Amino acid sequence: MRVQDTNRMSMVYTTPKNKQPSFGKLNMPKPQSGTSERRTSFFDAGRTSGASMPRNSIMSGFGGSEKIKDSRPLHDKAFVQQCTRQLHEFLTEHSYPGPLSAKTLVSPSTKEFVKVFEFVYCQIDPTFEMPNSKVEEEVPALLKALRYPFVLSKSSMYSVGAPHTWPLALGALTWMIDHVKIVSHEQETLFRDFCDDDEDIEEGLEYNKLVEDYSAEEYSKFMKGEDMFDDMGDVFLNKLTKLYNVDEALLDSMEEKYKILSTELHLLENDSQADRLTTKRMLRVKVQTDLKNLLSYQSRLDSFKASLECKYSELSDEQETTESHLESLKHEQNELQQLLKNQKFTPADVERITREKRELQQTISSLSKSLEDAEQHKWNEEIALAKFNEKAELKVAEYHKLARKLKLIPLSAENACGHDFEIRLFESGTMDQHKVKIQVLPRFNSDTLSMIKAGLLYLY
């Protein structure tokens, strides 16, 4: 807290003047810290109690059981433009967070109207939050709670931007803006009056000495570069409390009584606005609904409990099975350990067997590779043999054709001379038989060629 006047100092000056105090019937006091509660109870008690009185007097001046006719020219184009300009200025001055276009304030959608209404209403009750559902019912109800003297029907909320309904909604927003300005002006007037009264109360030599000492010490720390003076403010407040003989317990009890009375007043005001029987009936319906929900929840809990008991039984059975299996495994482990103790192989034998196994695996791998190579070579040879057989068949066929022309075949042919010149291909047989035929083939070919030459010479 920084010093503004070295001769006079009032705790009222600590309230920021650029912040508008909260107001409206729906504004409820918020909990504060212990220090702030002491400051408010000592210096702001008169302002709090005084501000609430004009609130009620202004709010109770409207409303009534009879329906009042709206005398404003809401369907006059010039009046509507004036209200639109007033609404635009208000939203601009109070930093409306949403976009402000020409269409928004001339023919808004229901969603845009609800945002503007919520913003204006928050100037009355900063804690207000618009519900997400049934806004067409909430807006007329909130206007009625504010004692808006005219009726805004629920059906008009479905098409709020229509030419026949928007002037009515615009009139309601204009009325709320005027309400905000009036209450704000009265609050500022009360605040100024309270400050003037405090000046008379706080005059005195001891008070001035406290203020001068506090200001000098705070200014000295400020010149040293310090910016936080909360501790000094608490010390100064304690000195002021001792100077004026403030009874903290009495102030706390009075503040608690004020909260209780404010709550009772709020309840009484609500009871006066609605039929108590209707309220009780609604409460009964709500209780019945809660009872039904509780019974349904209890039924679901019973079902859930039954399912958990079933799972518990299954898990118990599974646990017993697992335990028996564990016992069998332990028994098997004991047998294996006994077998390990009684075995004849030494660690050296195991190492030797492992080494031989590794060598045999390497040998098997090498032989497998050789076998694959042999199989591949065999396959290549078979392919080459098949190609050679095809060529041989073609040559044999050509030979037989020429031999028939020369009348050398068959055996009884004219020029065969009792020789068999027919060539037959190898038939299926064993590998040894094929080798013998291949060895005989050169000699057979030479004999056959000799006989063919002799026959040809004989013909010539």
The tens digit of pLDDT for each residue in 69-121 reads: 778 888 888 898 899 899 889 988 888 888 887 677 888 888 888 888 889 99
Sign of CA dihedral 48, 50, 51, 52: positive
In this structure, are residues 251 and 42 in contact, taking their beta carbons and an 8 Å threshold? yes
Architecture per CATH, domain 11-273, reads as Orthogonal Bundle (1.10)
- Does residue 37 carry a pLDDT above 60? no
Question: Number of C-alpha atoms within 13 angstroms, CB side, residue 193?
Answer: 11
pLDDT exceeding 90 applies to what percent of the chain? 21
Instruction: Provide mean pLDDT across the span 243-251.
Output: 82
270-280 confidence digits (pLDDT tens): 765 556 677 78
Instruction: Provide mean pLDDT across the span 252-256.
Output: 90
Long-range contacts of 132-138 (CB under 8 A, 24+ apart): 135/110, 136/110
Given pLDDT bands bounded at 50, 70 and 90, which one contains residue 35? Answer: very low
Residue-wise DSSP of 177-194: HHHHHHHHHHHHHHHHHH
Domain ranges of the chain: 11-273, 276-343, 349-459
- Distance between CA atoms of residues 208 and 307, nearest Å: 77
The residue with tokens 């040998």 is 363
- Distance between CA atoms of residues 74 and 407, nearest Å: 132
Given pLDDT bands bounded at 50, 70 and 90, which one contains residue 5? Answer: very low
Question: Number of C-alpha atoms within 13 angstroms, CB side, residue 234?
Answer: 8
403-458 confidence digits (pLDDT tens): 888 888 888 888 878 777 887 766 555 656 656 556 655 555 566 666 666 665 65
Given this model, what pLDDT does residue 75 score? 86
Provide the residue count of the chain: 460
Q: N- to C-terminal Cα distance for the chain?
A: 146
Given this model, what pLDDT does residue 362 score? 94
Given pLDDT bands bounded at 50, 70 and 90, which one contains residue 326? Answer: very high
The SS3 call for residue 368 is helix
Given this model, what pLDDT does residue 301 score? 95
Q: Classify residue 250 as exposed, middle or buried by CB count within 10 Å of its CB (0-12, 13-18, 19+).
A: exposed
Instruction: Provide mean pLDDT across the span 179-188.
Output: 77
In this structure, are residues 105 and 84 in contact, taking their beta carbons and an 8 Å threshold? yes
pTM, entire model: 0.32
- Distance between CA atoms of residues 94 and 452, nearest Å: 128
